[in-house]
Amino acid sequence: VSTSAQVITSSFTTLVQFDPVAVDTPGDEAPHADAAMADLTNAHIVARYSGLYIIHGYVQFSADSDGSTRQLMLKVNGTTWIARAAGPVQTYLGITPSAVHIHCAYTLDPGDYVDLWALHDAGAGVSLLATEGASRLEATWASLQ
């Protein structure tokens, strides 16, 4: 979850930063009591088990009617793009924030990590809203490989 505003530069793919962790529960079956998935230092989620994960990202870009697209991308291990989603620019009186959701299922191994990236083409920086929960990255371990 992010509770701090972050400016995304126009036409530049930017790593979305997160500050507090809303929920991170590895459960009693975790091999280590501190097997948390959230890594706030590097702004990503780390897989602790092999298997299929359901990954979800969400951001709200502040109201700005310039440009034509707002995008989110998911990247694994800093090298592999696994999903891209685009949302329309909300132009209602220039006051409606543009929300973008991204979802995918992807097989991860222990130590693999997932980042959320944002992109837009407004011509100038656009902030991600700082409201708690307005930007988030989630992963759920769905099944064994």
pLDDT score, position 32: 47
pTM to 2 decimal places: 0.83
The 10s digit of each residue's pLDDT in 69-117 is: 899 999 999 999 999 999 877 666 555 678 899 999 999 999 999 999 9
pLDDT score, position 81: 98
Task: Identify the structural domains of the chain with CATH numbers, from first to last.
Answer: 6-143 (2.60.120.40)
The 10s digit of each residue's pLDDT in 11-60 is: 999 999 877 555 555 544 444 445 567 666 678 888 888 999 999 999 98
What's the 3-state SS for the chain?
CECCCEEECCCCCEECCCCCCCCCCCCCCCCCCCCCCEECCCCEEECCCCEEEEEEEEEEECCCCCCCCEEEEEEECCCEEEEEEEECCCCHHHCCCEEEEEEEEEEECCCCEEEEEEEECCCCCEEECCCCCCEEEEEEEEECC
pLDDT score, position 134: 78
